[in-house]
Amino acid sequence: MGLIDIASNNSTWRGLDYYKENRVINYSKVNDNQYEGVVSNSNGKEYDVFMDIEHPRRSKCNCPHAKDRRVICKHIVALYFTVFPDEVQKLLKEVEEAEKEYEEYEKEIEKKLIKYINSMSKDELRQTVLELLYDGPEWMYDRFIRDNIEY
């Protein structure tokens, strides 16, 4: 499992922002799998980062979020993207493909829902709407009453 795979979504996207904002001040290669660097935050405070791509959980940062914890923070992610800039495009492509798949899934669900609704009788539709109004969210019932009942 790679470093980006175990980073939270928030750390990944903030780390990508830090990469794009060139917040990695410097870095050096320790060996084939390890890197050290300095990353600044939005206030200019600098954090020391150690990244191990073979064993990502061994990566460290002295920021408040990651200090003394085994988490991948945005500073580690920024260093990762600086060292491996091709991974940025790979990530963005994966996200784009996932969004496309989800859109197709939503379209398929909508088609099935429309087909199901069209197969229902008028009485079944009435009963379903009543159940939704009574059992659905309270705001739905309140809105129906407010918009359709004269006082």
**Are residues 77 and 109 both part of a single domain?**
no
| pLDDT at position 149 | 63
**Are residues 67 and 108 both part of a single domain?**
no
**Are residues 75 and 98 both part of a single domain?**
no
**Are residues 63 and 131 both part of a single domain?**
no
**Are residues 110 and 129 both part of a single domain?**
yes
| pLDDT at position 53 | 95
**Are residues 24 and 77 both part of a single domain?**
yes
- Kindly give the parts of the chain with pLDDT less than 70: 1, 139-141, 148-151
Look at residues 44, 5, 48, 3 and name the one whose alpha carbon lies nearest to residue 21. 44
Buried b (16+ CB within 10 A) or exposed e, 95-118: eeeeeeeeeeeeeeeeeeeeeeee
**Are residues 74 and 102 both part of a single domain?**
no
Buried b (16+ CB within 10 A) or exposed e, 31-51: eeebbebbbbeeeeeebebbb
**Are residues 48 and 108 both part of a single domain?**
no
Separation between Cα atoms, residue 82 and residue 22, nearest integer Å? 8
Q: What is the CA radius of gyration of the chain?
A: 25
**Are residues 109 and 70 both part of a single domain?**
no
| pLDDT at position 150 | 59
| pLDDT at position 59 | 96
**Are residues 40 and 54 both part of a single domain?**
yes
Q: Which of 84, 107, 140 is the last residue of a domain?
A: 84
Q: Which of 68, 84, 100 is the last residue of a domain?
A: 84
**Are residues 56 and 95 both part of a single domain?**
no
Domain residues for the domain of 117 are 90-148
| pLDDT at position 140 | 67
Q: Give Cβ neighbours of residue 98 (< 8 Å, ≥ 6 apart).
A: none
Q: Which of 28, 58, 84 is the last residue of a domain?
A: 84
Look at residues 63, 56, 58, 59 and name the one whose alpha carbon lies nearest to residue 39. 63
Q: Give Cβ neighbours of residue 87 (< 8 Å, ≥ 6 apart).
A: 4, 80, 81
Separation between Cα atoms, residue 61 and residue 133, nearest integer Å? 52
Q: Could you give the number of structural domains in the chain?
A: 2
Separation between Cα atoms, residue 56 and residue 23, nearest integer Å? 21
| pLDDT at position 42 | 83
**Are residues 9 and 58 both part of a single domain?**
yes
